[in-house]
């Protein structure tokens, strides 16, 4: 098999094929397909629910799956809300899949040259329950955006019927690690159900990327002193300090039953969805502690022999807001 005679990019009036251009897109996308950013092409019901759905503006990449085509991708964008009418159900339930699809005349598509449209919303009706991918046997390139589970005898589509099945082409991630060692004894005083920032009372200031929709937080407390058995408590993580603050589920701990002075390690971890208002801002993250049992010498203590590690990984995933 020979090379295409003109690679990307030759100046001077050389003719470049659509296939080579699509190969460039495929390489740029790393062979993946889906939406470009977290909010792109999000499918929802019409503002006033009726028989339509709408897809938000955004961009996508769709691999060329026409017969005998490999290592090629189409890149498209939607510049306004796009609406699509959904047929009503009769006496039985039905599941439809909303897709962004390609209609390329080069491979037998019906879109007219030169104006198209060559990319559009489409519905694949009556797919299996729980479907989240474009079914095999579809004869055109497409990516799945949403699944709609429609009750019997229904013509109005609501958000409760819509399941988001979008995937990001190249989800971004960013990791950082923060350390803290107290200069002096720092006892935990929070009495359950109240919590306090511990052992770092100020928490950490984290710059949240504008693209991040989730954050994985792991707090590791090493060398925590217990002078006597009997302490029982909880650790949790808190992102933010205002009304939008997100608090993780709590992780329980208790002191060793052995009498006398011991040092132990504690752990708390959670994946937190980042509120839209926090993206692209700097927010406080804190490890918080609370004691349900233990006073005096039973209180856990972080001192100069202790180290706290806050492991932070921001990730990107499809989001609704």
The tens digit of pLDDT for each residue in 29-64 reads: 999 999 999 999 999 999 999 999 999 999 999 999
pTM of the predicted model over 0.95 = no
CA 157 to chain centre: 25
Could you tell me how far CA 180 lies from the centroid of its own chain?
29
User: Which residue, among 205, 230, 231, has the nearest Cα to 285 in the 3D structure?
Assistant: 205
> 56: which DSSP letter?
-
pLDDT tens digits along 163-181: 999 999 999 999 999 999 9
- Tell me how far apart the alpha carbons of residues 163 and 132 are, in angstroms, rounded to a whole number: 9
What is the rounded CA–CA span in Å between residue 169 and residue 188? 45
What pLDDT score was predicted for residue 313? 99
Q: Which two tokens stand for residue 197?
A: 């920032």
pLDDT score of 1 more than 60: no
Q: Which residues contact 79 (CB under 8 A, 6 or more apart)?
A: 57
CA distance 72 to 20: 8
% residues pLDDT > 90 (the chain): 94
Name the nearest CA neighbour of 136 among 87, 65, 76, 70. 65
Q: Cα–Cα–Cα angle for 180, 287, 182, nearest 5°?
A: 25
d(CA 91, CA 6): 57
Contact between 204 and 278 (Cβ < 8 Å):
no
Q: pLDDT, tens digit, for every residue of 182-218?
A: 999 999 999 999 999 999 999 999 999 999 999 999 9
The label of the residue with tokens 């770092």 reads 200
Q: Which residues contact 229 (CB under 8 A, 6 or more apart)?
A: 255, 256, 257, 258, 259, 298
189: its two tokens: 């005083």
- Work out the percent of the chain whose per-residue pLDDT is above 70: 99
Question: What is the pLDDT at residue 129?
Answer: 92
d(CA 241, CA 283): 8
Residues sharing a CB contact under 8 Å with residue 233, sequence separation 6 or more, in sequence order: 188, 190, 192, 252, 253, 254, 289, 290, 291, 292, 293, 294, 300
Q: Can you read off the two tokens belonging to residue 228?
A: 């006597």
pLDDT beyond 70 at 258: no
């Amino acid at each position: 098999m020979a090379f295409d005679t003109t690679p990307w990019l030759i100046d001077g009036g050389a003719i470049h094929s659509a296939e080579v251009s699509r190969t460039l897109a495929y390489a740029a996308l790393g062979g993946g397909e889906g939406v470009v950013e977290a909010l792109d092409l999000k499918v929802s019901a019409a503002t006033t629910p009726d028989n339509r759905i709408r897809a938000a503006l955004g961009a996508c990449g769709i691999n060329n799956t026409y017969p005998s085509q490999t290592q090629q991708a189409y890149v498209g964008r939607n510049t306004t809300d796009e609406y699509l009418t959904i047929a009503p159900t009769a006496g039985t339930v039905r599941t439809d899949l909303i897709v962004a699809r390609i209609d390329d005349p080069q491979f037998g598509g019906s879109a007219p040259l030169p104006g198209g449209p060559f990319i559009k919303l489409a519905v694949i009706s009556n797919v299996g329950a729980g479907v989240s991918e474009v079914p095999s046997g579809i004869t055109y390139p497409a990516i799945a955006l949403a699944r709609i589970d429609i009750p019997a005898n229904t013509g109005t589509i609501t958000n409760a019927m819509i399941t988001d099945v979008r995937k990001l082409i190249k989800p971004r991630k960013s990791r950082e690690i923060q350390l803290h060692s107290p200069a002096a004894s720092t006892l935990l005083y929070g009495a359950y159900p109240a919590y306090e920032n511990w052992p770092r009372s100020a928490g950490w200031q984290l710059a949240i990327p504008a693209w991040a929709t989730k954050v994985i937080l792991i707090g590791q407390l090493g060398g925590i002193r217990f002078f006597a058995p009997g302490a029982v408590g909880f650790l949790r993580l808190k992102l933010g300090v205002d009304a939008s603050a997100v608090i993780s589920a709590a992780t329980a701990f208790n002191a060793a039953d052995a009498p006398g002075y011991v040092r132990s390690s504690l752990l708390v971890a959670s994946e937190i969805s980042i509120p839209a208002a926090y993206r692209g801002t700097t927010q406080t993250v804190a490890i918080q502690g609370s004691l349900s049992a233990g006073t005096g010498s039973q209180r856990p203590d972080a001192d100069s022999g202790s180290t706290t590690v806050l492991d932070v990984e921001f990730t990107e995933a499809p989001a609704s807001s």
